[in-house]
Each structure stands twice: as structure tokens, then as C-alpha cells.
A = this chain, B = another copy of it.
Amino acid sequence: MIENKINKLKKLINKYNVDGYIIPKNDAYFAEFSSPDRLKIISDFSGSAGFAIILKKKNYLFVDGRYTLQSEIECGKYFKIIEIPKTLPKIILKKLDKKLVIGYDPQLFTSINLKKLFGNSCNLSAIDSNLVDKIYKEKPKKYVNSFYNLDANITGESVSNKVNRLIKKIKRDKIDNIFISAPENVAWLLNIRGRDNPFSPIPNCKIILTKNKKIYFFSCPKKIYNIKKINPYNKFQFCKYNSFTSIIKKLPGKSFCIDSSTCSVSNENIIKLIFNIKKHIDPCYMMKSIKNQIEIKNMINAHVEDGLALTKFIFWIKKINKNKLTELDAQNKLEKFRKLNSNYLFPSFNTIAGTASNGAIIHYRASKKSNKVIKKNDIFLCDSGGQYKYGTTDVTRTICFTKQKNSIKNIFTKVLKGHIAVADANLNKFYNGKKLDKKARQFLKKDGLDYSHGTGHGVGFFLNVHEGPQSISKFSNIKLQEGMVLSNEPGYYKKNKYGIRIENLVYIKKNNNYLKFENLTLAPIEKDLINFNLLNKKEKDYLFYYHLNIYAKHSKYLNKKEKAWLAELIQHF
């Protein structure tokens, strides 16, 4: 099947008179999850990042360290696997032949991406039709998922207000037009959502906003029925993608702002023919990262609902279930608990349900192949999240089923102390991710331990579960501000043994000019993995109040046994 597709592609490479063709993971919207996933179509590789280069006589798959093993299994037969950033295509291609001409789809690349991957080491040739699409088309979906408007009681700010704020910003920079190429930003700005992404209510579309507040809305015309009907902002003009050039030609002014991280080469090339391009980070990123009061209220509600599912799941898996259970069984059961809530829509990312050694694989995804039975002595890590009608959740709990060794409990407790240190931090003092990240690792560090991922990422409001610019990591200098939502997820991973991670979402609240995190996530933390001797009074109090709040929020919806279990937990802290 793969061989067949590759051969067809090679014929097209010949036909288009190039020496090779590059297939990226991303789609034309540069989203976290691609649809279609052309890389998977051509290679069977299912990881979340990577790209392939098909030459006439050789096929390369470039993946990062997480996926070298997995890709070897999935498509090692047809591809030479190359680890990036260790080795970049420019190095490979340079070795082969300086005169190679590599074809690419200019809608799937930004100019920065091309530069980073190829430098000046080969000749690139834009091919307007996508060659993978020519050999394989996903079946058209039976139903078109139309875009839809969100009510003001969901978004908390009108479109015109947001547009006005944005216009003010671009005018200050003497910008006449702005191209908003990231659909997540369009979704935020226009208070719309769609269903073009498996884990996010992203509407696939792009807009041009002129300084006169005119909006050119580019999308599949089939999807705009609903938002056309109750157009909340009367300066919309709905356009097809193929009218991009003609629209650009009639726009006023001289300067055009694009965001180089999501503006495709295709779009950039058209704009730069007529306008002075100013490359700026789209201001919507920062604007949407600061949630308003209504968004926060909705996020709180979504987390109350999500926390209830989690709480019931944890009780069930620890205390009720007596059957053999695999990771996939557990994952499905959790999904069932979430689905009891009519406001729940779908997962916000692929659940990571890894027991024992699988838990140590940071981006693990249980498959039929990898699926393990969760054993009584195991440590089970479960990282999952949901999209609710008014919020996005992401939570990790690590649980056990029998008494665990002190050595493991000590590590869990140190992860927990880091988690609490972040949750309780004074954000006037620890005002960026860099400073906070240290706090999270401090207790592990004393024992020479660490984890190889950031401590927290930004989270969207009923949008992407990973959202910038804010984060808690060694490199983040973004100032933490009131209204931002982040994850707080320190962990520890013992290769081939177990994984530990404790993740809550938090939002930033201002109290008398003091910035503090407030927990959004409301799910019990594994008491049986805590060595209470390592906790000080403040940390114990934190756990007491945290679980008391969980009880207050959930008890109405818990049965007698669930309530008793939770109450006992509180009594313990």
C-alpha cells in the first residue's frame, strides 16, 4: 500500500520535472493536529511531528528523538529514518547533489520553515497542486461541519470590541492590513468555532483585516452558512481561497502585516508583490492568552464538570473495578465518565494512559500493539483532557493500586512538592515561566533528578489545549499576567519502569495587586503515593484545602461510596 503510493508519487515527481518532493506533517493551517495528515498517508508514520522527502531513488523520514524508534517500526522498511535536529535535510541533500531540485507545496510551508530546513543548499520548486492529494484523496465527509458563533455569555467580549482593540494595535504600528493566518486566532477574534480538527473546535479559515475594519474571510464556502446567518460583525466579506490574489490587489494602503509562523509561502508571495510586508507576531496570540472574566468563569465550570468525571474514574479504577484492565480499557472508561456530561464534546488531545514502563514514555499513546494490562503493583499515569462547550481541560494523575516502595513515594512526593510550589508561587516575584520552572524542579534537583519537558504550557479557551505565548519552561520570558491559563505539570520518568506526572490547569488571578495561580483542575491527588513526612505544614494545608474544594464542588453528584472515599482523603490530609 505504502510502496504503491510512493511509486505513484515518484511518477509525479518525474512529471513535474523535479528531483524530489517534501511532505510535511502539517496541513495548510499549521495546526497542532493535521487534517489531512499527508505524512501519514504517504508513510504510515503516526507520530505528531516530522516530514518526509521522497527522492527518485531514496525516501527519507525526518523525526525528532521521541519518534525514531516508533517510525522505524511503522515505516522503516520504506524510509531511511533521520533524527532531527541532529541532522537536517540541508546536510543530507548537500551531500547528495547541490543541484537537486525539491518540489514542495507552498501552502504547507512558511518561508521560515523552508529556510530552516534547506538553507540555500538546494533549489526548491513550488508546485501549486499538492502531489499527495493527486494520488490519494480522503473520502469527503458525509456532513459538512459548519462554523458557528459563540454567544457573548461564552466568550465574554464582542467581536467588534476585539476588532477595535486589534485595530488600535496595528494602527500604532502603521499597518494598513493584517493577514490572520492562524485559524485559532480567527476563531478567537470572530467568536466562532468549527470542527476541522480532531481535538480542537478550530474552524479552518484565514482572514484579512483592513485598518477600516473590513474583514475578508477565506474558508471553504460550504462551512459558513451559520455564521453568515447571524453575522455578528457586519463588515464581513466571505471569499474563496482562489480569490486571494484578486482581493489583495484591491486592498488599500501600503503595509501588510503577516505572522511568519503561519503565513504560507503561497500567501506571502502574493502579498509581497503589492505590499510592504511587515513580519510581526500576530497580536491575537497575546490578546487571546489573557482570558476575560467570563472565559475564566466558563473554564472554571468546565473544570468542575471534568473534575467530576476524573474523580469518579479514579475512584472506580482504584476501588470498584475488579477486572483485568488494559490501558485502552482505562482510557475508554474515562471517556465514558466524561461523556455522561452533555456539555462534553470530545478529547482535547490523545489520551496518554501508560502503566508501568509505558508511563515513562512522555508522549505515549496506547495502541493495540503497545496496550498493556494495568497490574496491581503498577504505577499508572493518565494524562487526558476534554473540550467542553465552554472550556478546555488537561489533567494528569498518577495512581497506584497497592502499597508502593518508599523510594517511589519519595519521588512522587518531590514531584508533588514542585507542583505545589508552582501552584502557590507569588507571581509578582516569580513573574515568568523561567523563574517558575526552577521552583518546580527544585526538590527533584536536590536528589539529582529532573524531567525532560517543560513544567507548563498555555491553554486555550475552548480552543487548542496547547497555546502560546505563555509557558512555564527554562526558556520562557513571557510575563505572566492576570487571566492567563497554564498547565502545572512537573513529573519524573524512570525509563522502562514507570512515569510520574501531576498536572493541573491553573489560571492567574489578581488579589489586591498580588498575582497568584488558582487551580482549575478538581481531581484528587494520589494519597497512596505520598510520603507525608516529606511535606511541611503549608503543603499539607494545601492538599487539605485542595481536596476540600473538590469535595465541595463534586459531592452533590457523587454516590455514597464515592463521597465516603473522598471524605476519608480529606480527613487524611
Residues of A within 8 A of B (CB): 541, 544-545, 548-549, 551-552, 555-556, 567, 570-571
Provide the bound-state CA to CA distance between A548 and B572, in Å. 13
CB closest residue in chain B, given A556: B552
**What chain B residues lie within 8 Å of A555 (beta carbons)?**
549, 552
Nearest chain B CB to A467's CB is how many angstroms away?
A: 29
Nearest chain B CB to A120's CB is how many angstroms away?
A: 61
Nearest chain B CB to A509's CB is how many angstroms away?
A: 12
Excluding A552-B555, A552-B556, 11 further A-B contacts by CB distance (< 8 Å) are A541-B571, A544-B571, A545-B567, A548-B548, A548-B551, A548-B567, A548-B570, A549-B555, A551-B551, A552-B552, A570-B570
Instruction: Identify whether the interface residues of A are mostly helix, strand, loop, or mixed.
Output: helix
CB closest residue in chain B, given A570: B548
**What chain B residues lie within 8 Å of A545 (beta carbons)?**
567
**What chain B residues lie within 8 Å of A556 (beta carbons)?**
552
Nearest chain B CB to A152's CB is how many angstroms away?
A: 24
Nearest chain B CB to A304's CB is how many angstroms away?
A: 10
**What chain B residues lie within 8 Å of A567 (beta carbons)?**
544-545, 548
CB closest residue in chain B, given A560: B511
**What chain B residues lie within 8 Å of A549 (beta carbons)?**
555
Interface pairs A-B: 9 shortest CB-CB: A552-B555, A552-B552, A551-B552, A548-B567, A544-B571, A545-B567, A548-B551, A548-B570, A552-B556
List 7 A-B residue pairs with CB atoms under 8 Å apart, sorted by A's residue number. Answer: A544-B571, A545-B567, A548-B551, A548-B567, A549-B555, A551-B552, A570-B570
Nearest chain B CB to A391's CB is how many angstroms away?
A: 18
**What chain B residues lie within 8 Å of A571 (beta carbons)?**
541, 544
Provide the bound-state CA to CA distance between A100 and B544, in Å. 76
**What chain B residues lie within 8 Å of A552 (beta carbons)?**
551-552, 555-556
CB closest residue in chain B, given A554: B552
Nearest chain B CB to A334's CB is how many angstroms away?
A: 24
**What chain B residues lie within 8 Å of A541 (beta carbons)?**
571
Provide the bound-state CA to CA distance between A541 and B570, in Å. 12
CB closest residue in chain B, given A544: B571
Provide the bound-state CA to CA distance between A571 and B573, in Å. 9
Provide the bound-state CA to CA distance between A545 and B560, in Å. 12
**What chain B residues lie within 8 Å of A548 (beta carbons)?**
548, 551, 567, 570
Provide the bound-state CA to CA distance between A410 and B571, in Å. 25
Provide the bound-state CA to CA distance between A549 and B552, in Å. 8
Provide the bound-state CA to CA distance between A570 and B545, in Å. 10
Provide the bound-state CA to CA distance between A524 and B81, in Å. 67
**What chain B residues lie within 8 Å of A544 (beta carbons)?**
567, 571
Provide the bound-state CA to CA distance between A307 and B261, in Å. 56
Nearest chain B CB to A532's CB is how many angstroms away?
A: 15
